[in-house]
Amino acid sequence: MAETVWSTDTGEAVYRSRDPVRNLRLRVHLQRITSSNFLHYQPAAELRKDLIDLATFRPQPTASGHRPEEDEEEEIVIGWQEKLFSQFEVDLYQNETACQSPLDYQYRQEILKLENSGGKKNRRIFTYTDSDRYTNLEEHCQRMTTAASEVPSFLVERMANVRRRRQDRRGMEGGILKSRIVTWEPSEEFVRNNHVINTPLQTMHIMADLGPYKKLGYKKYEHVLCTLKVDSNGVITVKPDFTGLKGPYRIETEGEKQELWKYTIDNVSPHAQPEEEERERRVFKDLYGRHKEYLSSLVGTDFEMTVPGALRLFVNGEVVSAQGYEYDNLYVHFFVELPTAHWSSPAFQQLSGVTQTCTTKSLGMDKVAHFSYPFTFEAFFLHEDESSDALPEWPVLYCEVLSLDFWQRYRVEGYGAVVLPATPGSHTLTVSTWRPVELGTVAELRRFFIGGSLELEDLSYVRIPGSFKGERLSRFGLRTETTGTVTFRLHCLQQSRAFMESSSLRKRMRSVLDRLEGFSQQSSIHNVLEAFRRARRRMQEARESLPQDLVSPSGTLVS
């Protein structure tokens, strides 16, 4: 006969099911193996010194001399919250004076009916449902140390008797948390029902009375075979886990007569029929449809749309960092300039901001100040002129970097500007800055000790000022110095009716957007060509300043 492989993993297992828990069925099989005093042999002197008589290997006789087979083994199928009475409860509730609560009287009536119908179907296996007054002290009184002499404290014993609230006992105000995070004026009932962050559970214990034969009904012989907990989210906790392919669990009783029992727990819940699955699928579909309608009702149908022919630009931005500057304690002043033609913003919209003062940290060879300063703004573009010569302009983001000294005096560290991205999405922009300088050591000393420095009266002078009406802007005589860089992170959103309409308005708006996208490309090409012209002009001036004998008739240098 093969040796029994016991399962020693008695930890809990967690399952999740969308089916109603009332369909849960468990098959529990309990069997008595043997007694620890099973072997009784004769003294060796009566036979031989080294032999034992095999006839002495026999079970210990009971008081009646016979133990029935049905008392050795029992198997029963139990449903969720199905009440199976123990022998102790049968003896208790037959006495009407022991009944105190309505539940006790209900149990008494059920026991009397069972007695009239031939008795209960179970013998040793019984259950404690969620309505019973039972607490598994071994589950709640967990040991904190490895000492065998440790005893639970007074608080632990008291808390072990505190039961979790059931779902049907919770107040109606408990559902407010689903739609409102903070309850500013909670009532006493709301506080009483929600002072503990806990998911309501329903508990069921499958028990076994492992008392000696014809001595059932004593509390000291009750043992927990399995504990099931189900919460409102459909999470089922089983301790210990279903036996499955593992070996059976074992229980060894204590006392003078130690006995060994084994038991298995199997999930025998019936599978759903195809008709039931189809019905359940329709129910869930209808439920999700109603939930979608509920969410739509919360949002409303009056979704804010732009006027026909308009483009709405929404920007969530962040001043990430600044690096490469001479002094510490930096802060950034920034603003967005909207082109005067065709662009507008709401009256309440703030198009400028100032970050907090931030000290720098060494990162490689540079000193970096991390701001992580958020800002947001929106603007509207309305274009009515569809002539090809009218090239739309895009908003420009200007920034000014300043530093603060110990005496709260500030100095300009740099100016910069960048055109906002013409395409929606996430963009990271690095803006190079410069600052005007004066010649001589006195200006630098003044800047270091006093804090004064040259400043631009109009920050838009970094690019082309909006007030400039001429053809050429001259910066001749302005001495500048390249300083550090500022990093911006922009998340741009664009909204327009043209994105979903298929009329002439969509074609008209698409041409405008194409020109807007090409604006940045044309600007880049113009900057490149302008750089080439300046380089060519400097080479021509250098060539004219050289002596004529070093220049060949073709204009190249003579070696």
CA-to-CA dists, residue 362 to 99, 367, 379, 482, angstroms: 79, 4, 38, 20
Q: Is the peptide bond before 240 cis (omega within 30 degrees of 0)?
A: yes
Residue 192: CB partners within 8 Å, gap ≥ 6?
171
- Check: CB of residue 57 under 8 Å from CB of residue 39: yes
Q: What pLDDT was estimated at residue 169?
A: 41
Q: What pLDDT was estimated at residue 16?
A: 87
Q: What pLDDT was estimated at residue 493?
A: 92
Q: What pLDDT was estimated at residue 1?
A: 46
* Token code pair at residue 281: 């699928």
* Token code pair at residue 227: 């504990």
Q: What pLDDT was estimated at residue 57?
A: 44
Residue whose entry in the numeric block shows the structure tokens 């060879």: 365
**What is the number of alpha carbons within 13 Å of residue 535 lying toward its C-beta?**
6
Q: What pLDDT was estimated at residue 70?
A: 58
Tell me the CATH number for domain 310-385+392-498.
2.60.40.150
Backbone angles phi, psi at 97, to 5 degrees: -70, -20
Q: What pLDDT was estimated at residue 43?
A: 45
- Check: CB of residue 322 under 8 Å from CB of residue 369: yes
**Domain locations in the chain as residue ranges:** 1-43+70-84+121-140+188-271, 310-385+392-498
- Check: CB of residue 173 under 8 Å from CB of residue 208: no
- Which pLDDT tens digits describe the chain residue by residue (559 residues)? 456 678 888 888 999 887 888 889 999 999 988 754 444 434 444 444 454 444 444 444 444 445 555 567 899 999 999 999 998 998 888 888 888 888 889 999 999 988 888 888 888 999 999 888 776 655 555 556 666 667 777 776 666 555 544 444 444 444 444 456 677 778 877 776 666 556 678 899 999 998 887 778 888 888 999 999 998 888 999 999 998 888 899 888 876 677 889 999 999 988 878 888 888 889 889 999 999 888 888 877 777 777 877 888 999 999 999 998 888 889 999 999 888 778 888 888 889 999 999 998 888 888 899 999 999 999 998 876 555 445 568 899 999 999 888 777 788 889 999 999 988 999 999 999 998 887 767 777 777 666 667 778 777 778 877 677 777 877 777 788 888 999 999 999 998 877 766 555 555 555 555 555 554 444 444 454 455 455 566 666 666 665 555 444 444 444 4
- Check: CB of residue 280 under 8 Å from CB of residue 50: no
Question: 249-252 and 310-323 as β-strands: parallel, antiparallel, unpaired?
Answer: unpaired
